[in-house]
Amino acid sequence: MNNGFKYGLIVFAVLMFACCGGFMYLLSPVSAVVSKRETEAKNFGDAYTKQILRDYSAKTLTTLSTKEYKTAFTLDQFQKTLDGNSKALGEFQSGKGRASISNAERKGKDPIIRAKYENRATFQKGKARVRIDLILKQNIWQIEMFSIEPA
């Protein structure tokens, strides 16, 4: 192999390594922020899944919900749904949740972040999947949708 070709290949490899490393360096703050927000969403979901399902309370659910979600249904409709889940599943025992960021945008100066939370929960009478769509506005997490589905 020609010496010029060897040196050219080495220079090319060094440049590629520098570019990839630089790109990863630039992305690291972004991935740190996403990871932080996913952790926040998971913690919110874990805490409030337990709180809502402790007594199957529509009042607790609507207190944590967005204005749009609260107006989509009446408090009685929320409560009837939760009562049906309570009757079918029994007492909430435990669950393991996870969250992932599904969308992020900026309107004005504050970012709006949406996350999907899922908890594979164990109840007295079986298992179910608790799903919550979350939104972060003005640094406050709120519920956009709450559902319980048989596993």
**CATH architecture of the region 23-150:** Roll (3.10)
Checking if the pLDDT of 13 tops 70, the result is: no
Give the residue extent of every domain in the chain.
Answer: 23-150
Q: What is the pLDDT of residues 122-151, one digit of tens each?
A: 999 999 999 999 999 888 999 999 999 987
CA dist., res. 65 & res. 117, Å (int): 14
Res 27: pLDDT = 43
Res 2: pLDDT = 64
CA dist., res. 66 & res. 61, Å (int): 10
3-state helix, strand, coil in the chain (%, to 5): 55, 35, 10
- 8 A C-beta contact, residue 92 and residue 63: no
Mean pLDDT of 3-23: 64
Instruction: Give the pLDDT band (50/70/90) at residue 9.
Output: low
CA dist., res. 57 & res. 44, Å (int): 17
